[in-house]
């Protein structure tokens, strides 16, 4: 019956099987960040966090994962 088969790559929460490596919440967050970065190039991770209300830790994890995010921030 479906069920939980793996963990979100980002927040490590259990998630149901999907084509994505991230849970729906993280996918939404990553889209938020991606559109924000596209509108605001050269923004820092801290500024992204403040503007999107997504935790800095999560944004850093996204940058580390490097999935679908135009973040070249170190």
Return residues touching Zn ion (CB under 5 A): 8, 10-11, 23, 26
Nearer Cβ to Zn ion, position 54 or 71? 54
Q: Least CB distance from residue 20 to Zn ion, whole Å? A: 10
Distances (CA, A) of 17 to 29, 40, 68: 19, 33, 19
CA distance 17 to 71: 27
Q: Least CB distance from residue 26 to Zn ion, whole Å? A: 3
Nearer Cβ to Zn ion, position 4 or 40? 4
Distances (CA, A) of 43 to 5, 10, 28, 60, 64: 36, 21, 19, 13, 16
Q: Least CB distance from residue 7 to Zn ion, whole Å? A: 8
Nearer Cβ to Zn ion, position 9 or 36? 9
């Amino acid at each position: 019956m479906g069920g939980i088969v793996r963990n979100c790559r980002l927040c490590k929460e259990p998630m149901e099987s999907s084509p994505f490596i991230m849970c729906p919440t993280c996918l939404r967050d990553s889209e938020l960040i991606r559109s924000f970065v596209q509108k605001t190039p050269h923004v820092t991770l801290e500024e992204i966090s403040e503007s999107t209300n997504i935790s800095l830790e999560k944004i850093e994890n996204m940058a580390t994962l490097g999935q679908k995010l135009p973040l070249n921030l170190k």
